[in-house]
Amino acid sequence: MLWTNEPLVFSETVAKSPRYSSRHWERSVYPLGNGRLGCTAFGEPRRERIQFNEDSLWVGNEDCTGGYQPFGDVYVEMPHAEYSEYRRELDISRAVQTISYISGGVRYKREYFASHPAQVMVLRFSADKAGALSGKVSMGNLHEIAITAKDSTLTMTGDTSKFWWWQVHLAQPRRLLGSRKYASKKNIDLDLEAQVRVLHDGGTLKTTDNTVVFEDCDSVILLLAADTNYVNRRDKGWRGSHPHERVSAQIAAAAKRPYAELLAEHVADYQSLYGRLSIALGDTPAAAKALPTAERVKAYSERVRRKAGPAVDRDLEALLYQYARYLMISCSRPGEGALPANLQGLWLFTKRPAWRCDYHTDINLQMNYWFTSASNLAE
């Protein structure tokens, strides 16, 4: 179990510094993924931000790889500015993230997971008091892609024609633009679509101004699906059919099923891989185990830096080993059309990620997979 007692909140100073904000993001989020579709939840009670990625959303062309790009964001706003007893945790034995806190005397709970069998993200909001959930759901993105709302479903659909591939190159974009070879080339424009379906128990839903508003609900479930028309076929120009039908079918199928059934199916599928290996390296003092994960890592690192003797948190070592297995399962699954993990696995936060989140076949791609056979994840 990885956990913290703080949401991820960007101050104005952090938000204005892309390099620092990316470091802050990667050290604070708990990624979820089904091998193809992934998300990172910021966990703020007042305004949850769920940033999502899909592994085929790239810009570029055959002369320049361009780079991997963020797909979009889902926002859930609720009047919870004041809160206490906050906890955000990732259960890597089940691949489920849970957020809980108290606001206005009510305990609220959020459960998120990425289902590989259903090919959707599932986000559930609940409370220990009937009718306590009111708020609104919206979407956003960094690429000016159109968003519409109809019948409790938000849809983001467009293409990558406005994605300028040279902007993802951190080094000398002007030099690249000055080259006729590169400047004359367009993106291999991909079609893309994401849908968010809002379901509820109790209360009411209404759709207005590209948002879905929920009032006095007992629980609210969001289903998220996203895809592009990328195919790994040069003879087809790397483009297949528009993803609308696939995304719509995934949402419709998941919406017909009970939440408990989707969760049980997800956990069973994930544990069929994760449960192949266990590891025990020794005992850890109870006081160390009681610390949030980031504080445990800091204490461990400080002890090593000061050369203060052997580390005393063997349970942390085992946890981080299993966390590596969790990340591999979450960002790389076998199957037709599957893409390998890139330099950041499946997840990114910015339009200009380090090294473009690309595939370095000199050594980095191989290094991602070195440990898989030894950790019983050969496929």
3-state secondary structure of 149: strand
pLDDT value of residue 312: 78
pTM of the model: 0.93
Please tell me the predicted confidence (pLDDT) of residue 79. Answer: 97
Q: State the pLDDT at residue 75.
A: 97
Residues 56 and 112 sit within 8 Å (Cβ to Cβ): no
Amino acid at 298: K
pLDDT of residue 355: 76
Domains of the chain: 2-338+348-369 (2.70.98.50)
**Per-residue pLDDT at 349:** 83
Length of the chain: 379
DSSP of 327-357: HHHHH---STT----BTTBT---SSS-GGGG
Residues 14 and 24 sit within 8 Å (Cβ to Cβ): yes
The pLDDT value recorded for residue 163 is 73
Mean pLDDT by runs of 10 across the 379 residues of the chain is 90 54 82 97 96 91 79 97 97 99 98 98 99 98 91 95 60 47 64 98 95 98 98 89 98 98 99 97 89 93 79 90 97 87 86 78 86 93
Q: How far apart are CA 326 and CA 339, in angstroms?
A: 17
